[in-house]
């Protein structure tokens, strides 16, 4: 069963025994004394050991906190990053029970062979090698039993502990810890949803189908469900171990890693949030294989557009542009201290540009933005933390694979490729068609919507307004809407043409096409202005 947090199961009464156990562990490690001001905070190592002692949910929460460099001192972050997710393996009887209950058949009928010893045993699930009746070699991911009740109870305990902490330390309220716990519960639900993971695998395989150096194992649908996920088996060697014997293959491997990260982000709005060496294998034919899609992130189109502007502004050293793009990505930005945020982002960008560009880290740049935002009242979206974590892990792996590799150069090459694709004729036709459909819908819906709204107004507190007058006013608004729409379309031609005209390299087809669009936009704006002038003159004669 997919883990979903049930409010009834999350009640404090049902969670009381677990809460007492958690409070006992926290008291033994001096957390409660620190909250009351009677002792110092535990050391970073003791904090990590506390999370490990508290078990699965708290261990995962500690891993989430390790991403929040804006909340905790560096020493604690570094220690929490050492949290391991390896747990003792489930007994084969428990594995068999889960698989047979989910798939509705005996294990011996589902698989020709099934290894009793797991390949890996992590917090959420463990993986067994097996063989299908038709001889296909597969990996079977089996979820640990009773996760739903365990996670629901621990989330209830966390909510109580957060309320307790905010009571004794009011300054904790500025950290939005209840929001952090709620987002953690959501991400944990998604990570334990094998149906979602299977869907993510299909999306990634489609998005990266044009990468010849990458292979993603496909889902074996007939042997997959909510608690069991069966995939094609990836027989390869961990990329970090392979790099020691084949350093000459690493430059191409790194380019593939960078491309799969950026292409999925900017083309599909998807990204693998845990690209560590254990999830990247090198196959016998030299291709890379990407595994474990339990932790993925999704960016909608507006956020992707803002992210593009943010990266461009950081590269150019434009602090004001970076600040505006960053605020477009977050919620509640109207409450932020914009002046203070601009100062901090300007300082962060200065540090980036004064350092050796070959050593610049995109993950660290994002991390600096998150810290600056939190200091000035910004509520950073959970996806931004995941994205930052993904870049930090990827960059760390790249430095491990080839310490001399110029990561930023690979990044620039991929951005240039994506930009060229973005300005392709097919993409322009697609966006132009979308704009035309939206404008057509606006024009067709505006008259009816306007009359409807005005009729509602006329029937309400402004009932004294006569319907003929309302209809006349509606006609006027419709005409103004049409002129506004014409102006927007003309501006779109002008802006789109300008972008094409200045896109490198100069002299290409898009350069001349862009100049033509600029010309068309100028002509359209002239006619819109002429129509407005005629309207104003007509009003003047009417008043006389």
Q: How many domains does the structure of the chain reveal? A: 4
Q: Return the structure tokens found at 312.
A: 């461009």
CATH number assigned to the domain comprising residue 218: 3.30.200.20
The answer on 114 and 41 residing in a single domain is no
Q: What percent of the chain has pLDDT over 90?
A: 23
459 with 487, same domain: the answer is yes
**How many C-beta neighbours within 10 Å does residue 420 have?**
15
Of the ranges 273-287, 315-329, 472-486, which one carries the lowest mean pLDDT score? 472-486
Query: Is residue 56 within 8 Å of 84, Cβ to Cβ?
Result: no
What are the tens digits of pLDDT across the range 472-487?
445 555 555 555 556 6
Q: Say if residue 95 is in the same domain as residue 215.
A: yes
Read off the pLDDT of each residue in 27-42 and give the average, rounded to a whole number: 76
**What single-letter DSSP state applies at residue 213?**
T
Distance CA 403, CA 7 (A): 49
The boundaries of the domain holding residue 216 are 88-143+193-233
Count of all residues that appear for the chain in the document: 544
Which residue blocks in 381-503 are alpha helix, DSSP H?
382-401, 407-422, 425-458, 467-502
Rounded Cα distance between 252 and 398, Å, is 11
Is the residue at 2 inside a domain?
Answer: no
| Pair 534, 440 in one domain | yes
The verdict on residue 514 lying in a domain is yes
Instruction: Check residue 417 and give its pLDDT.
Output: 72
Distance CA 543, CA 505 (A): 55
Asked whether residue 337 falls in the same domain as residue 404, the answer is yes
CA pseudo-torsion sign 4, 196, 69, 327: negative
pLDDT, averaged across the chain: 78
Statement to judge: residues 132 and 181 lie in one domain = no
Q: How far apart are CA 510 and CA 500, in angstroms?
A: 6
The answer on pLDDT for 98 being more than 90 is yes
- Residue 331 DSSP code: B
The residues, ordered by sequence, that sit 6+ positions from 366 with a Cβ below 8 Å of its Cβ are 384, 387, 388, 391
Question: Residues 136, 73: one domain?
Answer: no
What is the three-class DSSP state of 292? coil
* Integer Cα distance of 282 and 284 in angstroms: 7
Tens of pLDDT, residue by residue over 325-351, are 888 887 666 777 888 889 988 888 887
pLDDT at 239: 94
Residue 1 lies in a domain: no
The answer on 335 and 367 residing in a single domain is yes
Decide which of 32 and 324 is more confident. Answer: 324
- pTM for this one? 0.69
Q: How far is 507 from 515, CA to CA, in rounded Å?
A: 11
pLDDT band at 352 (very low <50, low <70, confident <90, very high): confident
Do 400 and 497 lie in one domain? The reply is no
Where does a domain end: 390, 422, 454? Answer: 422
51 found inside a domain: yes
The answer to whether residues 117 and 35 belong to one domain is: no
Which one is predicted more confidently, 514 or 113?
113
Residues 306 and 387 in one domain: yes
Among 52-61, 136-145, 172-181, the minimum mean pLDDT is found in 172-181
In this structure, is residue 6 part of a structural domain?
A: no
Which pairs count as long-range contacts for 107-116, CB under 8 Å and 24+ apart, including other chains? 110/223, 111/138, 111/140, 111/223, 114/140, 116/92
Greatest distance between any 2 Cα atoms in the chain? 95
Q: How many other CB atoms are there within 10 angstroms of residue 145's CB atom?
A: 16
With H, G, I as helix, E, B as strand and everything else as coil, classify residue 388: helix
Q: Establish how many alpha carbons lie within 13 A of residue 456's alpha carbon, considering only the half-sphere containing its beta carbon.
A: 5
pLDDT one-digit tens code per residue, 411-441: 777 777 766 665 555 555 555 555 555 555 6
Whether residue 180 is contained in a domain is answered as yes
Least confident of 70-79, 85-94, 164-173, 250-259: 164-173
Which range (33-42, 287-296, 464-473) has the least confidence?
464-473
**12-34: burial string, b at 16+ Cβ within 10 Å, e else:** eebbeebbeebbeebeebbbbeb
Among 400, 422, 444, the domain-final residue is 422
Determine the Cα–Cα distance for residues 275 and 197; give it in Å rounded to an integer.
15
pLDDT bracket for residue 471 (50, 70, 90): very low
The upper half-sphere exposure of residue 450, i.e. CA atoms within 13 Å in the direction of its Cβ, equals 19
- Provide the pairing of β-strand 280-283 with 228-232: unpaired
Residue with tokens 């535990």: 42
- When mean pLDDT is compared across 216-220, 254-258, 349-353, 492-496, the lowest value belongs to 492-496
For residue 347, give the H/E element and its range: helix 338-354
Is residue 3 situated within a structural domain? no
Do residue 414 and residue 337 come from a single domain? yes
Q: Is the residue at 5 inside a domain?
A: no
The rounded radius of gyration (Å) of the Cα atoms in the chain is: 28
Choosing from 373, 391, 422, the residue where a domain stops is 422
């Amino acid at each position: 069963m997919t883990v979903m947090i049930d409010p009834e199961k999350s009640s404090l009464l049902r969670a009381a025994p677990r809460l007492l156990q958690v409070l006992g562990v926290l008291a033994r490690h001096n957390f409660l004394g620190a909250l009351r001001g009677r002792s110092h905070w535990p050391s970073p190592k003791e904090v990590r050991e506390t999370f490990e002692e508290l078990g699965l949910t708290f261990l995962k929460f500690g891993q989430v906190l390790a991403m929040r460099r804006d909340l905790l001192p560096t020493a604690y972050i570094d220690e929490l990053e050492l949290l391991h997710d390896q747990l003792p393996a489930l007994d084969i009887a428990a594995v068999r029970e889960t698989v047979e209950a989910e798939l509705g058949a005996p294990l011996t009928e589902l698989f020709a062979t099934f290894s009793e010893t797991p390949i890996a045993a992590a917090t959420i699930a463990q993986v067994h090698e097996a063989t299908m009746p038709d001889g296909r070699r597969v990996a079977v991911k089996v979820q640990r039993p009773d996760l739903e009740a365990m996670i629901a109870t621990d989330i209830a305990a966390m909510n109580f502990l957060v309320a307790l902490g905010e009571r004794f330390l009011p300054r904790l309220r500025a950290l939005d810890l209840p929001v952090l716990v709620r987002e953690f519960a959501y991400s944990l639900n998604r990570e334990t949803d094998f149906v979602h993971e299977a869907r993510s695998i299909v999306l990634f395989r489609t998005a990266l189908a044009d990468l010849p150096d990458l292979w993603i194992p496909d889902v074996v649908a007939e042997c997959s469900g909510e608690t069991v996920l069966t995939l094609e088996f990836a027989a390869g060697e961990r990329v970090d171990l392979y790099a020691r014997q084949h350093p000459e293959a690493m430059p191409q491997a790194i380019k593939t890693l960078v491309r799969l990260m950026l292409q999925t982000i900017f083309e599909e709005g998807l990204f693998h949030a845990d690209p560590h060496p254990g999830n990247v294998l090198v196959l016998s034919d030299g291709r890379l294989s990407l595994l474990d899609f339990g932790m993925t992130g999704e960016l909608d189109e507006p956020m992707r557009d803002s992210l593009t502007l943010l990266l461009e502004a950081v590269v150019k050293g434009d602090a004001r542009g970076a600040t505006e793009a960053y605020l477009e990505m977050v919620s509640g930005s109207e409450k932020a201290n914009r002046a203070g945020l601009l100062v901090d982002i300007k300082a962060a960008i200065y540090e980036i540009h004064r350092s050796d560009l070959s050593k610049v880290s995109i993950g660290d740049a994002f991390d600096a933005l998150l810290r600056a935002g939190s200091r000035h009242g910004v509520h950073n979206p959970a996806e931004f933390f995941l994205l930052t974590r993904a870049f930090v892990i990827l960059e760390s792996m790249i430095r491990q694979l080839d310490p001399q590799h110029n990561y930023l150069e690979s990044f620039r090459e991929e951005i240039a490729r994506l930009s060229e694709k973005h300005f392709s004729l097919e993409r322009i036709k697609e966006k132009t068609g979308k704009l035309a459909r939206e404008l057509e819908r606006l024009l067709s819906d505006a008259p009816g919507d306007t009359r409807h709204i005005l009729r509602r107004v006329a029937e309400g507190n402004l009932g004294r307004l006569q319907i003929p007058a309302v209809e006349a006013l509606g006609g006027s608004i419709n005409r103004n809407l049409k002129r506004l729409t014409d102006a927007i379309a003309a501006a779109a031609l002008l802006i789109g043409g300008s972008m094409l005209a200045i896109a490198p390299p100069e002299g290409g087809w898009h350069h001349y096409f862009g100049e033509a669009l600029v010309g068309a936009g100028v002509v359209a704006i002239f006619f819109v202005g002429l129509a407005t002038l005629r309207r104003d003159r007509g009003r003047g004669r009417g008043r006389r």
